[in-house]
Chain A
Amino acid sequence: MKPDNRLRQSPVQLDGRPHRTLVRDHWPVVCEYADEGDGPWLVDLSHCQRIDIQARPLAAMIPEGLPEPEAPGEVRIQDQSLITRMGKAQACLWRFGQAAAFPVGFNGTEITEATLALAILGRHTFAIAEKLSSLDLQAPGRSLPRLYQGPFAQVPCQLVVLDAAAGREMLLLSCSRGYGRDMVGAITNAGAEFNLRPAGEDRFMRMFENREKGA
């Protein structure tokens, strides 16, 4: 039997020189780019599994072992999984890194292919964001992480503010896959004045592990 070297294609191409790469579930994943600089960074996470869940009541349909974000906008994290509450009866599940894929039940729909996922990390993350969106991503008094649903670069997006502490800023973004090139273009243009550079998944995972773990 010949080796299975079929490759999938991310909706996003970042303009950088990959330093270390691997293939996971047929996705070519850049672990690290050469010369990533010291932030801000842009990371392609489109290969991470994402599942849309719509159910009434929602709680019953959340995979076992995962906490339920109770109100819309709330986000819960368990190990390498993240679950956002989008509405009364809708949630979205994210799975990062090497964690095993979630089973997709009847009320779940795998949307990994439908959307792209990016992360903007590090200093000036929110300075870049405010050039692209009027959403108040740093509204005081809101616990983190938090989900915002709204326009980013004029495209309807799901945005998760994971951390806003100085130097550890983390903003997750997902939108329709087809916008890949223009979305990366918009973010890259907005980030140019802050020296935004592409970074690999490793940097995201490191920062994710070290994020400010709030209540």
Chain B
Amino acid sequence: MAFTITCPICGPRSGYEFRYGGQDKGPRPDPAEMTPETWCDYVHMTDSCPGVQKEWWYHRAGCGIWFTIYRDTTTNLEVSPDSPEAVA
């Protein structure tokens, strides 16, 4: 966690100030269309891809908001949301 995370409110901070919230998988599925399998996928399965991932972080030692960043999981460096690699 040596890396830096940029909080939209507080700016770049030490990674230790944040809690990881996992890969961004979108809003909760609609219960009407949900099967045990889709529920399980939503809750437990992640892509675990090497490369750029959109993910959630919580600024627990700071402003207390959840936000997403794009991070290259191979370098632990943030990627600008405008860059071509940053696709959800």
Chain A residues with a Cβ under 8 A of chain B: 72-73, 86-88, 90, 134, 148-151, 156
Contact = CB atoms under 8 A, between A and B. Distances in A.
Contacts of A148: 10
Interface string B15-27: 0110000000000
Contacts of B16: 151
27 contacts: A72-B9, A72-B10, A73-B9, A73-B10, A86-B9, A87-B9, A87-B63, A87-B64, A87-B65, A88-B9, A90-B63, A134-B14, A148-B10, A149-B9, A149-B10, A149-B59, A149-B62, A150-B10, A150-B13, A150-B17, A150-B62, A151-B16, A151-B17, A151-B62, A156-B60, A156-B61, A156-B62
Q: Which 5 A-B pairs have the closest CB atoms?
A: A149-B62, A151-B61, A156-B61, A72-B9, A149-B63
A33 B63 CA distance: 35
Contacts of B10: 72-73, 148-150
A187 to B, nearest CB: 17
Contacts of A86: 9, 63
B65 A150 contact: no
Interface of B: 9-10, 13-14, 16-17, 59-65
Contacts of B13: 150
Contacts of B62: 149-151, 156
Nearest to A154: B61
A149 B64 CA distance: 9
B82 to A, nearest CB: 21
Nearest to B14: A134
Contacts of B17: 150-151
A28 to B, nearest CB: 32
A166 B61 CA distance: 29
B12 to A, nearest CB: 10
A86 B16 CA distance: 20
Nearest to A156: B61
